[in-house]
Homo-oligomer: A and B are copies of this chain.
Amino acid sequence: MDLSDIAALARPSDSKVVLLVLDGLGGVPIEPGGATELEAAATPHLDALVRTGTCGLHVPVAPGVTPGSGPGHLALFGYDPLRYRTGRGVLAALGIGFDLRSGDVAARGNFCTLDGSGSVSDRRAGRIPSDESAPLVELLDNIEIDGADVFVQQVKEHRFLLVLRPDEPLGDAVADTDPGQVGLPAAEVRALDEASRPTVRLVRDWLDRAAAALAGQPKANGVLLRGFSRLPGWPSFEEVFGMRALGVAAYPMYRGVARLVGMETVEVDEDPQSLVAELERRFDQFDFFFLHYKAPDKAGEDGDFDRKVQVIEAADSVVPRILEAGPDVVLVTGDHSTPALLRNHSWHPVPFLLSGGAGRADASQSFGETACASGALGTVRGCDLMRLVAARAGRLSKYGA
């Protein structure tokens, strides 16, 4: 179903919605037949919501596909991540909290090593540490060119963000300069459509000055650029669902993806109490609250099953306070699975619970992957969830007469 179809159904309401994202929530057992992290956690408050609400599993992208954080959150916001795709440049900007504006052209940059003949001998400049790359980023950030403001910001190690803010609107269809392998020179920067020819002239000008600035550096004497992209012109979350939305997150990446769909955002501390405090403070000003809790994903990526259990329990402990704020509908889920066993994001479907509004109960007595697999809502696509949420919040009218 297209976002425009949803927008046509959206109707006003005073209802309030909380989306609590426990990042990387889904897990797998360490031993076959054992409990997952969520199943091992004592979550009395979430279990109580499951008993009065409904649960299920969601697939963020497609069966078998492991989602990045961007696609995982877009799905939760109702945007099909296979249709709503963002360039690497934009994602890099979001990831470090750069205030990307409409019209900015962003690219992901790598420092690289060029040999005497100008060929790339290391595409990551020996993974130069961040403290060595920081002064080089500053050198690049000081470059000025005619026709655009240019911003260069450090990402990490050999990675940086390049943003052109052109005086006139320009295209972003610019081919990567990364040759993808060593032994070749960087590819010529090249326009893929007519509107991007002036962009290429600006990038070429900048690259010449960057080459001069880095000449003589032992490792990072060149740069490679890829993923040229602008903020996409997607319909905003408010345009689609008719809800004024606030994104509350400690990490820039998650505020960035919330801003990508037009949410307002606010930075808070990492603990779950801080999320709820912000919910309480702004409850009257917004209709939809995206609360992002990073800790389960970090514990999963560290391979720390027990810590993931603990931080899920910490999230559970703030559920009563969330309910006291008085939301009409609460959706608790993750943007993807991050099993401690795999130390990484994974493709496994993500448990969710939906509480408030009219719905059927299921047999599930507690919040966990196995219970959700036989939940009343079954297994749905991640981008279906927001429609279910909006329906329960009384915000979608009938389709057809």
Contacts and interface: CB of A to CB of B under 8 A. Distances in A.
A396 B66 contact: yes
A322 B132 CA distance: 53
Interface stretch (A218-226, A294-302, A342-350): A342-350
Interface string A377-401: 1111100111111110000111111
Interface in A324-368: 339, 341-342, 345-348, 358-363
A199 interface: no
Contacts of A134: none
B71 A389 contact: no
Contacts of A189: none
Contact of A62 (B66, B359, B370, B387): B387
Q: Which of A57, A91, A396, A400 has the most CB of B within 10 A?
A: A400
A67 B1 CA distance: 13
Interface stretch (A26-34, A162-170, A270-278): A26-34
A88 B387 contact: no
B33 A51 contact: yes
Given A65-B391, A378-B378, A391-B347, A360 B36 contact: yes
A401 B347 contact: no
Q: Which of A57, A86, A358 has the most CB of B within 10 A?
A: A358
A70 interface: yes
A370 B360 contact: yes
Given A29-B361, A342-B358, A358-B339, A387 B71 contact: no
Interface in A1-54: 1, 5, 9, 28-29, 32-34, 36, 51-53
Contacts of A57: 378
A68 B9 CA distance: 12
A28 B52 CA distance: 12
A287 interface: no
A70 B358 contact: no
A61 interface: yes
Given A62-B384, A345-B398, A28 B360 contact: yes
A95 interface: yes
A323 to B, nearest CB: 15
Nearest to A88: B401
A88 B70 CA distance: 39
Interface string A85-123: 110100110010000000000000000000000000000
A190 to B, nearest CB: 21
A196 interface: no
Given A360-B348, A376-B370, A400-B91, A64 B388 contact: yes
Given A64-B387, A65-B391, A68-B400, 9 more contacts: A28-B359, A63-B384, A64-B384, A64-B389, A69-B401, A342-B358, A346-B391, A347-B388, A347-B396
The list of the 4 closest CB pairs from A to B, nearest first, reads A64-B387, A68-B400, A71-B400, A63-B384
18 contacts: A28-B358, A32-B52, A32-B361, A33-B51, A33-B52, A36-B360, A62-B384, A62-B387, A63-B377, A68-B401, A69-B400, A81-B399, A85-B400, A92-B401, A341-B358, A342-B358, A345-B398, A378-B379
